[in-house]
Amino acid sequence: MEFNINNICCIGAGFVGGPTMAVIADNCPGIQINVVDINTERIKRWNDEDLSKLPIYEKGLESIIKKCRGKNLHFSNKIEENLKVADMIFISVNTPTKIKGLGAGKASDLKWIEASTRQIAKNAKDNVIVVEKSTLPVRTADTVKKILNSQSEKNSRINYKRNFYVLSNPEFLAEGTAIENLQNPDRVLIGGDNEEAINALRKIYKKWIDNKKILQTNLWSSELSKLTANAFLAQRISSINSLTALCESTGADIKEVVMAIGMDTRIGSRFLEPGPGFGGSCFKKDILNLIYICDYYGLKEVSSYWQKVLELNSWQKSRISNLIVDKLFGTLSGKKICILGFAFKANTNDTRESPAIDICNSLLEEGANLSIYDPRVSLKQIAKDLNEDNTIDAKIGLDTGKWTYEESIFSAANEADAIVILTEWNEFKNMDWKKISIIMRRPSWVFDTRLISDLEDNNLFGINIWKIGYGI
């Protein structure tokens, strides 16, 4: 069966669906691409004339949207209509951790996958290639196939029998560098059992990616590789974070340790940056999913191995908030703490699973008054993350502290007892410490959890500095 792909439909216009389809559209002007979503507000923003209103901020995205939107890239809520004409359908919907029912807290919630698969089964034409772009538990393609085929059989009685070809094509982009990662990926992974369908997808990627980088595996290896890649990356971060504590106790220098191990080509230097713990929408969710699958297959030792990666991550966050309390004489009640950075990493406004959330909540519980500044995260988002309404200065509980949203480093640091750097934004790298030391209360503290501050010497301008992996 030879496939001719002239029309693509992508279900899900989120962090993955939007940028991925934009890059395909840019590289394949001959293919019409419809990105569809049930969320009308999101689609409205994708179609906004003012490109600064796009629902996602990614470097390079605006210029692609400007070039392709309305030509071969379209965003809409017309799901059925666009599914009916598609030769290839990507499923790029959310797969968060289940919050209730069987497997709650660990398993992936596949209700959005099932809903989209049913929509495809109902509307798609014959010989359509269905591509799993979402991150999924290993063997989900089985479920997808069953749903598609059962509808197909039902139709065959009424109408005609249709064939579907299911592929797994997980996405490895990281937020903040999505366009760069999509334009020049380390590899593209295609899992499947039909050679022609795989080649049809390969042909699309080959428009801009070297064929050698396009790997072909069976469906299950592809699904599992995505979970594994995220688990390995997170494991490196937990490993290096565990050593920050040991360096602080022994006097070993964390940067020197990172340099020494990173130069071993078997280890490599990336993803060894110490920090307050990993955040983001994927690492925790995907490791929880891996743990659930291991438990399901009775592999207790394997699941508890991965569980430790998550435990270490939680420990790193609580260890940071505890030591802040400790350094500030055991109490934060009535003290002002300036929080610099709320996003889970720099160059994004995304706060999902940001370590800032847990650290801020712990400090608030200790009675601290937080002044929070992040160059891209909105007041509304912080209020949502800290379980607050939208009012500045609102109390979060009787015995707890309160927080304010600040528009600059200086207003946040004014009269503060301590500054806690939680996100590695560029503007936190070189700050006017002399000026800041004048506006802070004494004794003044800086807690640098990202090792980015240029405040090298302890007590320079009268500021005590604590750095992750160094302590004081």
Footprint of ligand NAD on this chain (CB under 6 A)? 11-17, 36-39, 42, 79, 92-95, 112, 115-116, 134-135, 171, 173, 175, 281-282
Considering the complex, what minimum distance in angstroms separates the CB of residue 448 from ligand NAD?
26
- Which of residues 87 and 132 has its CB atom nearest to ligand NAD in the complex? 132
Q: Do the bridges between strand 128-132 and strand 164-168 make them parallel or antiparallel, or are there none, so unpaired?
A: parallel
Considering the complex, what minimum distance in angstroms separates the CB of residue 222 from ligand NAD?
13
Q: Which candidate, 141, 143, 148, places its Cα nearest to that of 123?
A: 148
- Tell me the CA distances in angstroms from 357 to 106, 287, 318, 452, 470, one per residue in order: 20, 20, 11, 20, 24
What residues form DSSP beta bridges with 445?
Answer: 418, 464
Q: What share of the chain is helix, strand, coil (3-state, %, to 5)?
A: 45, 15, 40
* Side-chain-side CA neighbours of residue 197 (13 Å): 23
What residues form DSSP beta bridges with 253?
Answer: none
- Which of residues 42 and 467 has its CB atom nearest to ligand NAD in the complex? 42
Instruction: By CB under 6 A, name the one of 110, 282, 332, 364 that touches ligand UDX.
Output: 282
Distance in angstroms (rounded) separating the CA atoms of residues 42 and 139: 30
> Listing from the earlier edge strand, what are the strands of the sheet with 418-421?
403-405, 369-373, 336-340, 418-421, 444-448, 463-467
Q: What radius of gyration, in Å, describes the C-alpha atoms of the chain?
A: 24
Considering the complex, what minimum distance in angstroms separates the CB of residue 226 from ligand NAD?
7
Interaction partner, residue 189 (ligand UDX, ligand NAD, none; CB < 5-8 Å by kind): none
Concerning whether 338 is annotated as a catalytic residue, the answer is: no
Considering the complex, what minimum distance in angstroms separates the CB of residue 20 from ligand NAD?
9
Question: Which window, 59-67, 265-273, 292-300, 316-324, contacts ligand UDX (CB under 6 A)?
Answer: 265-273
Residues 6+ apart with CB under 8 A from 9: 33, 34, 35, 36, 82, 83, 85, 86, 88, 89, 90
Q: Does 57 bind ligand UDX (CB under 6 A)?
A: no
Q: Which of 10, 282, 294, 338 is catalytic?
A: 282
Q: Does 273 bind ligand UDX (CB under 6 A)?
A: yes
Question: Which window, 38-46, 57-65, 152-160, 230-238, contacts ligand UDX (CB under 6 A)?
Answer: 230-238
Instruction: By CB under 6 A, name the one of 5, 38, 215, 233 that touches ligand UDX.
Output: 233
Q: Give the residues lining the site for ligand UDX (CB under 6 A).
A: 171-175, 230, 233, 237, 271-273, 275, 278-280, 282-283, 344-345
